[in-house]
């Protein structure tokens, strides 16, 4: 009997140890107070959106599979939402933070986001998604590091810095919103910012001989940028969660909403150097600089900063084609990124999406396949969950280009869970487009000038193209992607040009599973905010 008791005691100890070893993924808790505050990014006083008094907002630093609990207190005088550019929200579009999925946080109230960076690594950012708040700040960086047991394809750097760069306007966000509401386009930006400051407002200090990582995101509103470091080469290592072939670049084009991660070595004489961003494909070139300072610097930065490309589209296209996956590197899990043979899977549907700029009811609008999106009075995800009729029209946007001039609609595209689709973005306009799809990564299989046809598939890269969540489409050109619809939910497909997004160049993709199982999608959160026609409905018990 005593021997049996000892055996059971030993089994209990083993069970407890196993539970502790294989316990729930770690939690990280954040409390954010969102307020207005005076900022002077271009030397002019503006009303900025601050998080915990900071512009840009505080960084999120996490590890694959971490649970992020972000309690957001809205101390503005208007509704507010945060979204998470590139965080996939696996099975959980309830946390996506765009108006198609979430009710806004009312003034004076709070909402707690419960995110999990499930099976992800890499560099991303968060931003305010309502009204035109993104023009006032409220954005910040997101880092997702690999778990310690997963090897990464480069030595740990001596430092890891986030750079949030992009265009900026001296006018307050309310004035910019009024311009758009009146049916006009935005003026040309007034300048560029690096981490919330104009030229030479930010300094990065390094030690000679050491290697550093920069995570660079274009958080601007309207323009692509080029990034470079005076006298230093950059080794590209990661793009939006994918380890890349480690090609060396003198400069990188970073389009709206995109994030890149590079290594550079402080291997030059010890002095100050320019870190430069400049606008791309604009008749007027804006430039901003920060300072790269060697700790034992013997000299100040030399002027002027090194020039970069300006309007050369072919140069940018060739660079984009050179960005490829590292097939032998592990991703978030310990298996090579090339083990998923995306090019050997038959697509089940082709969706062709064309951007346009119609005038509707005498006002400037922007559209996808002639449909200019208008927000409904109720978030689409809530309307779908509660079976509220009349909020949106499923199938309200066609799979192919339309010949009509443009019309207003709350457009939602139906899609089947686990389908594998080809999406072709077609741009017949004279400016660069940038497209983002929430909840998913896609494989950029091809891009070229001219009109896309079925023969264009002959040029697709079906072996080692980059996987990402935001892609550019050059003027009079097309870009094709393959995308597994592996995430049930209501997902925003949008232009990252924020004026175009605001004036209708977006829609929602409803990825649907008839199983109605928690294995496919999490239930509605019990703290979900309800608004519009969803008021009076119940979420679920605790």
Residue 8 in any domain: the answer is no
* Calpha distance 426→455 (Å, rounded): 15
Whether residues 530 and 385 fall in one domain: yes
Cβ neighbour number for residue 22 with a 10 Å cutoff? 7
**Pair 363, 222 in one domain:** no
| Bridge-based pairing state of the strands 46-51 and 259-265 | unpaired
Cα 395 to Cα 413: distance, rounded to the nearest angstrom: 5
Contact indicator for 432, 224 with CB cutoff of 8 Å: yes
Examine the domain organization and report whether 318 and 353 are in the same domain.
no
- Angle (CA) 238-244-248 rounded to 5° is 90
4 occurs within a structural domain: no
Contacts of 64 (CB under 8 A, 6+ apart): 117, 119, 120, 121, 144, 145, 146, 147, 150, 332
**357 and 479 share a domain?**
yes
CA 356 to each of CA 222, 404, 431, 522: distance values in angstroms, whole numbers, following the listed order: 16, 11, 11, 36
Look at residue 344 and tell me if it is in a domain.
no
Residues 357 and 494 in one domain: yes
Considering 145, 172, 194, which residue would you say is the last residue of a domain?
Answer: 145
C-alpha span between 533 and 540 (Å, rounded): 17
Q: Does residue 436 sit within a domain?
A: yes
Answer yes or no: is 9 within a domain: no
Peptide bond into 56 cis (omega under 30): yes
Q: What is the pLDDT along the chain (542 residues), one digit of tens a residue?
A: 444 334 333 333 333 333 333 468 999 999 999 999 999 999 999 999 999 999 999 999 999 999 999 999 999 999 999 999 999 999 999 999 999 999 999 999 999 999 999 999 999 999 999 999 999 999 999 999 999 999 999 999 999 999 999 999 999 999 999 999 999 999 999 999 999 999 999 999 999 999 999 999 999 999 999 999 999 999 999 999 999 999 999 999 999 999 999 999 999 999 999 999 999 999 999 999 999 999 999 888 987 899 999 999 999 999 999 999 999 999 999 999 999 999 999 999 999 999 999 999 999 999 999 999 999 999 999 999 999 999 998 999 999 987 778 999 999 999 999 999 999 999 999 999 999 999 999 999 999 999 999 999 999 999 999 999 999 999 999 999 999 999 999 999 999 999 999 999 999 999 999 998 999 999 999 999 999 999 999 986 55
The parent domain of residue 181 ranges over 159-325
CATH number (domain holding residue 112): 2.60.40.420
Residues 279 and 387 in one domain: no
Taking the C-alpha atoms of residue 300 and residue 107, their distance in angstroms, rounded to an integer, is 47
Is 85 in the same domain as 124? yes
What pTM did the predictor assign?
0.94
* Judgement on whether residues 426 and 377 belong to the same structural domain of the protein: yes
Q: Are residues 395 and 500 in the same domain?
A: yes
Query: What's the number of domains the chain is made of?
Result: 3
Whether 412 is in a domain gets the answer yes
Residue 22 lies in a domain: no
Residue 458 has φ and ψ, to the nearest 5°, of: -65, -20
Residue 48 and residue 133 in one domain = yes
Q: How far apart are CA 131 and CA 174, in angstroms?
A: 9
* Strand bridging mode 60-63 / 82-85: unpaired
Choose one of 100, 115, 145: the last residue of a domain.
145
Q: Does residue 260 sit in the same domain as residue 397? A: no
Q: Among residues 325, 341, 362, which one ends one of the domains?
A: 325
Nearest to residue 524, comparing CAs of 72, 93, 86?
93
CA 501/CA 99 separation, integer angstroms: 12
Q: Are residues 129 and 177 in the same domain?
A: no
Provide the 8-state DSSP code for 64: T
Task: Report CA 200 to chain centroid distance, whole Å.
Answer: 27
- Residue 206 and residue 256: Cα distance in Å, rounded? 28
In whole angstroms, what is the distance from residue 40 CA to residue 67 CA? 35
CB atoms within 10 A of CB 486: 16
List of residues 6+ apart from 335 with CB closer than 8 A: none
Is residue 495 in a domain? yes
């Amino acid at each position: 009997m005593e021997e049996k008791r000892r055996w059971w005691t030993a089994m209990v100890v083993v069970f407890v140890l196993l539970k502790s070893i294989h316990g729930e993924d770690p939690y990280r808790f954040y409390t954010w107070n969102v307020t207005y505050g005076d900022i002077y990014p271009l030397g002019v006083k503006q009303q900025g959106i601050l998080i915990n008094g900071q512009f840009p907002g505080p960084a999120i630093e996490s590890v694959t599979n971490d649970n992020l609990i972000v309690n957001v207190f809205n101390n503005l005088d208007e509704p507010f939402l945060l979204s998470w550019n590139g965080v996939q929200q696996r099975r959980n579009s309830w946390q996506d933070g765009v108006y198609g999925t979430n009710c806004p946080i009312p003034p004076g109230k709070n909402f707690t986001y419960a995110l999990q960076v499930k099976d992800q690594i890499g560099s991303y950012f968060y931003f305010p998604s309502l009204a035109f708040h993104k023009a006032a700040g409220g954005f910040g960086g997101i880092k997702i590091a690999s778990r310690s047991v997963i090897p990464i394809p480069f030595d740990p750097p001596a430092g890891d810095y986030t750079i949030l760069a992009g265009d900026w306007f001296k006018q307050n966000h309310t004035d910019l919103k009024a311009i758009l509401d009146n049916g006009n386009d935005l003026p040309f930006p007034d300048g560029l910012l690096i981490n919330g400051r104009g030229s030479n407002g930010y300094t990065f200090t390094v030690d000679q001989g050491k290697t550093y990582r920069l995570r660079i995101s274009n958080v601007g509103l309207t323009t692509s940028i080029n990034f470079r470091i005076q006298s230093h080469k950059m080794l590209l290592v990661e793009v939006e969660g994918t380890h890349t072939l480690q090609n060396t670049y003198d400069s990188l084009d970073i389009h709206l909403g995109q994030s890149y991660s590079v290594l550079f070595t402080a291997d030059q004489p010890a002095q100050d150097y320019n870190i430069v961003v400049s606008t791309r494909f604009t008749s007027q070139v804006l430039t901003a600089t920060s300072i790269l300072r060697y700790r034992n610097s013997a000299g100040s930065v030399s002027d002027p900063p090194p020039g970069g490309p300006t309007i050369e589209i072919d140069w940018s296209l060739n660079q984009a084609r050179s960005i490829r996956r590292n097939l032998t590197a592990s991703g978030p899990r310990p298996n090579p990124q090339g083990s998923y043979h995306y090019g050997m899977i038959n697509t089940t549907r082709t969706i062709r999406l064309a951007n346009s700029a119609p005038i509707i009811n005498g006002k400037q609008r922007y559209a996808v396949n002639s449909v200019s999106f208008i927000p409904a009075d109720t978030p689409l995800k809530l309307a779908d969950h509660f079976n509220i009729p009349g909020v949106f029209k499923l199938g309200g946007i066609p799979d192919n280009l339309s010949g009509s001039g443009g019309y207003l609609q709350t457009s939602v595209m139906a899609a089947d869970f686990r389908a594998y689709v080809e999406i072709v973005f077609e741009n017949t306009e004279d400016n660069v487009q940038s497209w983002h799809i929430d909840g998913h990564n896609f494989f950029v299989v091809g891009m070229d000038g001219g009109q896309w046809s079925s023969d264009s598939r002959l040029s697709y890269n079906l072996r080692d193209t980059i996987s990402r969540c935001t892609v550019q489409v050059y003027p009079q050109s097309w870009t094709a992607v393959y995308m597994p619809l592996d995430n049930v939910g209501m997902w925003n497909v949008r232009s990252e040009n924020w004026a175009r997004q605001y004036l209708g160049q977006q829609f929602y993709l409803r990825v649907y599973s008839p199983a109605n199982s928690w294995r496919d999608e999490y239930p509605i959160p019990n703290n979900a905010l309800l608004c519009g026609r969803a008021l009076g409905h119940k979420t679920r018990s605790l």
